[in-house]
Amino acid sequence: MDYQEYLEPPRKNKSNFGKGVAVGTLATLLVVTLTAGGIWLGVSAGSQRKVLSQNEESSREAILEKSVEEKSGEIADLIDQYYYEDVDEEALVEGMYAGMVEGLGDPYSAYYTAEEYRALTESTSGIYYGIGAVLTQNVNTKVVTILHVYPGTPAEEAGVKDGDVIVKVGDIEGDSMELSELVTHIKGEEGTTVHLELLRSGELEHIQLDVERRQIEVPTVQSEMLEGQVGFIQISEFSESTPEQFSEAWKELENQGMESVIVDLRDNPGGVLQSVCAMLDAILPKGLLVYTEDKYGSRSEYKSDAECTKLPMAVLINGNSASASEIFAGAIKDYEYGTLIGTTSFGKGIVQTIIPMEDGSAVKVTMAKYFTPKGNYIHGAGIEPDIELEYSYQEETEGEVYNPLHDNQVLKALEVLQKGENSE
């Protein structure tokens, strides 16, 4: 059995579309696969089975009490007798499983059907059949917004734009479900199309688009050389393919004579834990990168080797920089390897483990906290930047494509790096 460890922004109960369209935290998940029968957040396989056995015994006693079984049967009979439409019995059973996990009252724990779990694991590979856009969901309203459209993708070709709000996917209301479920309706077989109804700022009428589904390899890293031989690397998320993309971007900038670097983690919701640790390993000296602790006090550590970079660095963060982004920023800050610029990060410092089941479904349960190298627990607090600076962008011409030199946080990073070089 494979276990997967998730860190993701929280979700809340459904609310109506009309309550607002503010961009919320991203739904992209942070995943790490742990070997079967091996380490599980620092607990050996034997002790893990023992702990689970004890928990299962107490939980099953409560769930399988005769009175619970009888009441469940009574409810099923009432539904059969009185519900005004035909009942999807499979959906009813799946809903019962989901309700059991929901009873924890934890916005991070969840039950996934087999279809949902397949979509979830697909999203971490960086390759999927979809339209090529990053989506966000407001934690209060469930409104879904297009955060970014990747260049050269079906979404861009069809006319989808950053900032568009999804009103409908086919006949499905955009705010009617969790984002992880909504994306299963956007993705699909290669060559088919999905109809999107979008709300766009400045447009009175909703925009209707048919977008073709194609294989998408998500470009999570973009880079360019700025003035003063400063490399600028934007990381949109940490997928399985991100370390390779990051390494290629870094080498290309080095070939161009990079003397310092800005790493942009703004609006980055996280990704694969193994990926962020691999990237930090290439940057930081030998030592601890991040560690986790469960309720039994068991600790798992992720470390780097002695090989590291010596380039001056600035890291940009904001309130949507979460999970893996905070692991990256927290390690850079604790090692004093760079200057953090922007606003306080999201504040997600707990870990979920996802456990696949034999029928293809899976259960995700919160089961540990994570800490920065110096032992800081950032859950609910986030990571404060070294230089607090609210984002501002000066657009010189109408419709201008994003230019980092018109971004005040990038300009501040250039200033800091230039001063650092002059002071040495």
**Which residue is associated with the tokens 């602790």?**
293
* Distance separating alpha carbons of residues 42 and 293, to the nearest angstrom: 8
Confidence bin at 13 (pLDDT 50/70/90): very low
Is residue 94 a part of any domain in this protein? no
Does residue 178 share a domain with residue 318?
no
* Distance separating alpha carbons of residues 191 and 189, to the nearest angstrom: 6
Is 267 in the active site?
Answer: no
Catalytic residue among 109, 123, 239, 323: 323
Is 348 in the active site?
Answer: yes
β-partners of residue 217 are: 127
What's 158's domain CATH number?
A: 2.30.42.10
Confidence bin at 241 (pLDDT 50/70/90): confident
Specify the 3-state DSSP secondary structure of 270: coil
Which helix (H) or strand (E) covers residue 53, if one does? helix 45-63
Task: Specify the long-range contacts of residues 122-125, CB closer than 8 Å, at least 24 apart.
Answer: 122/187, 123/28, 123/29, 123/183, 124/29, 124/31, 124/239, 124/240, 124/271, 124/272, 125/239, 125/240, 125/241
Question: In the prediction, which pLDDT does 69 show?
Answer: 83
Question: In the prediction, which pLDDT does 126 show?
Answer: 63
Tokens of 419: 């001063």
Does residue 245 share a domain with residue 151?
no
Confidence bin at 124 (pLDDT 50/70/90): low
Exposed, middle or buried, 411 (CB in 10 Å: 0-12/13-18/19+)?
middle
Residue 130 pLDDT > 70: yes
Strands 260-264 and 230-235: parallel
Which among 217, 251, 273 is the end of a domain? 217
β-partners of residue 204 are: none
- How do residues 38-51 score in pLDDT, each as one tens digit? 212 222 233 343 44
Report which residue type is found at 296.
Answer: Y
Is residue 408 a part of any domain in this protein? yes
Catalytic residue among 142, 333, 348, 364: 348
The mean per-residue pLDDT over the stretch 387-400 comes to 82
Which among 170, 192, 217 is the end of a domain? 217
Is residue 120 a part of any domain in this protein? no
Contact assessment for residue 405 and residue 226, using Cβ atoms and an 8 Å cutoff? yes
Q: Which domain range does residue 188 map to? A: 126-217
Residue 29 pLDDT > 50: no
Does residue 268 share a domain with residue 408?
yes
Q: Is the pTM of this model over 0.85?
A: no
Determine what percent of the chain falls in helix, strand and coil, rounding each to the nearest 5.
30, 30, 40
Is 295 in the active site?
Answer: no
Residue 120 pLDDT > 90: no
Nearest to 302 by CA among 322, 333, 279, 318: 279
Does residue 296 share a domain with residue 381?
yes
What's 395's domain CATH number?
A: 3.90.226.10
Residue 1 pLDDT > 50: no
Catalytic residue among 260, 334, 345, 407: 334
Return all residues near 63 (Cβ < 8 A) that are at least 6 apart.
100
Per the structure, how many domains does the chain have? 2
* Distance separating alpha carbons of residues 174 and 153, to the nearest angstrom: 21
Mean of the per-residue pLDDT values for the chain? 82
Q: Residues, the chain, total?
A: 424
Write the DSSP symbol of residue 306: S
Contact assessment for residue 15 and residue 41, using Cβ atoms and an 8 Å cutoff? no
Nearest to 345 by CA among 392, 306, 380: 380
Dump the DSSP string for 157-177: HHT--TT-EEEEETTEETTSS
